Amino acid sequence: MPLDRIKETYRRHTVLAARHEGQLKGRVFKDRQVVHECEGTSIDEILVTLKAFVDLSLYEAAENRQSPPDGEEYVRAFKKIQTGLTGAQCAMLKAHYRADEQTLTATELAKAAGYATHSAANLQYGMVGYNLNEELPIKLKTRANGTPIATFALATAGEQKGSELHWAWKLRPEVAYAIEKLGLHT
């Protein structure tokens, strides 16, 4: 028997497809507000349409941005993701904020969070950047395969550091402002 209602979280939005008064309808919610509605011939079709709307909306928001986000925009975005941050993610943000010239390598971020390797830090710090970018979309640098590097939502590429010249991340000043304003540095 086909489902009459599916509700999912998708890219920090809620998508809902349901049979309502004999019709199949869908809605996208962001912060409990309806931002898009559609109709379709199946629940699956509606879900695909709703998710495509979210994808396009975030892409257009990043593409159409004329200037980098300011500190207050980052404050608002961090407020939305703050409760989902893990202790290790908070430790990395704090260490990055407190670092000399607010620049750290992935290995140094890993150490701050208690991870054994930089790959765990890359994953977890990247998740912070991903969630932040879902709330405050900006164009991110991409890997060779075209996938975005989410850490660029938090930082820019700094000078390479250390005797082995590790990649370094320089915290964006606007992110540092938000970290300070929200007390994430203490």
What span, in angstroms and rounded, lies between the C-alpha atoms of 124 and 135?
17
Which pair of tokens denotes residue 146?
């075209």
Give yes or no: residues 60 and 91 share one domain: no
Give the pLDDT score at 3.
Answer: 72
* Residue 148 scores a pLDDT above 80: yes
* Residue 163 scores a pLDDT above 70: no
Q: Give me the mean pLDDT over the 42-67 stretch.
A: 96
Give the pLDDT score at 167.
Answer: 78
Give yes or no: residues 75 and 97 share one domain: yes
186 falls within a domain: no
Give yes or no: residues 104 and 174 share one domain: yes
Instruction: Name which residue leads in pLDDT, 3 or 112.
Output: 112
Domain, as residue range, for 156: 71-181
Q: Give me the mean pLDDT over the 41-47 stretch.
A: 95
What CATH number does the domain containing 134 carry? Answer: 1.10.10
Amino acid identity for residue 164 in this structure: E
Give the pLDDT score at 1.
Answer: 45
Give yes or no: residues 121 and 176 share one domain: yes
Give yes or no: residues 143 and 111 share one domain: yes
Domain boundary among 38, 64, 90: 64
- Cβ-based neighbour number of residue 31 at 10 Å: 10
Give yes or no: residues 130 and 171 share one domain: yes
User: 174: pLDDT confidence band, cut at 50, 70 and 90?
Assistant: very high
* Residue 179 scores a pLDDT above 50: yes
Q: Give me the mean pLDDT over the 90-96 stretch.
A: 98
Q: Give me the mean pLDDT over the 113-117 stretch.
A: 95
- Cβ-based neighbour number of residue 119 at 10 Å: 11
Which pair of tokens denotes residue 68?
């980098």
145 falls within a domain: yes
Give yes or no: residues 172 and 117 share one domain: yes
Give yes or no: residues 75 and 50 share one domain: no
Give yes or no: residues 37 and 114 share one domain: no
Give the pLDDT score at 2.
Answer: 57
What sign has the CA pseudo-torsion 104, 182, 64, 55?
Answer: positive
Give yes or no: residues 39 and 105 share one domain: no
Give the pLDDT score at 157.
Answer: 87
Give the pLDDT score at 159.
Answer: 66
Give yes or no: residues 17 and 97 share one domain: no
Number of domains, the chain: 2
Give the pLDDT score at 161.
Answer: 61
Give yes or no: residues 75 and 160 share one domain: yes
